[in-house]
């Protein structure tokens, strides 16, 4: 199974409809940039996606990974 890179919108909206785990059915791991983690989990505390993404991270299927070339992000 492959990995996928996700932005915050995908995580927030998938969690908002209660289907974040659907991503796990298609991908072994979801990779997110540190800025996505900050937006969804830290700044989004108490909002849709924050708890779900933190749980997915703790379970190991969401991984925070900095882009190799920050200047293109």
Tens-place pLDDT, residues 19-47: 999 999 999 999 999 999 999 999 999 99
Give phi and psi for 60, each to the nearest 5. Answer: 95, 5
DSSP of 2-48, one letter per residue? -EEE--HHHHHHHHHTT-THHHHHH-SEEEE-HHHHIIIIITTTTST
Mean pLDDT, all residues of the chain = 93
Give this prediction's pTM.
0.88
pLDDT at residue number 72 = 67
């Amino acid at each position: 199974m492959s990995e996928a890179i996700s932005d915050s919108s995908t995580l927030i909206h998938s969690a908002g409809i209660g289907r974040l785990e659907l991503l796990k059915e298609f991908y072994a791991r979801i990779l997110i940039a540190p800025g996505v983690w900050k937006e969804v989990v830290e700044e989004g505390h108490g909002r849709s996606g924050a708890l779900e993404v933190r749980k997915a991270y703790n379970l190991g299927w969401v991984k925070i990974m900095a882009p190799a070339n920050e200047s293109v992000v």
